[in-house]
Amino acid sequence: MIKDELIEKYILPFYLKTDLLVDNQELLNEWRNSIDFEINLKDFLSNKGWRNRVVASTVIGGLKLGKFIDQIFAQAKEMNEFHQAKSYAFALTNINNKKSLEFLSILAKTELDSDYSKKIQKFYQAGFYILNRNYKTESNITKEINELKLRIEKWKIINYA
């Protein structure tokens, strides 16, 4: 069960601008060093609320916590919320392993019916092209590629140790 004080401290100030967590490393380190950090992330990621999922997947991706990659992929396949998709794409791209490339490939190539889902899919396509180092392949996702690359650069200043 997610405690309200955790949501107030780690979710509400950051869900629309999750990269601000990089700027608030003291708070992020406090959370990372807490006993229940990974349990909190799992709970936030499992929660149906998109705000919790956005923050959790951004932190997971930013810290390159590959143990959550299957759960992120399972949720990403739902293609139902724009902010979540941006964070899932960031997480899968920044974790940058063989499995994330496989998952991004699947998400990038999934046939979709709705225009909204196709808009979401652009972030997965961008992540796939970034991991393939193929930035010029699709001009229709240049904006998404640049956005993901900026987020990856921003999170590089985090001490992973």
Question: What confidence tens digit (pLDDT) does each residue in 107-156 have?
Answer: 999 988 889 999 999 999 999 999 987 655 567 898 999 999 999 999 98
Alpha-carbon span 13 to 21, nearest angstrom: 9
- Would you give the DSSP letter of residue 34? S
Query: CB-side exposure of 24: number of CA atoms within 13 Å?
Result: 15
Domain boundaries, the chain: 4-155
pLDDT of residue 10: 87
Distance of CA 63 to the CA centre of its chain: 10
From CA 94, how far away is CA 108, in angstroms rounded? 16
**Cβ distance 141 to 125 under 8 Å?**
yes
pLDDT at 81: 87
Mean pLDDT, residues 77-102 taken together: 92
The pLDDT, as a whole number, for residue 90 is 96
Kindly state the tokens that stand for 73: 């992929």
Across residues 61-65, what is the average pLDDT?
Answer: 94
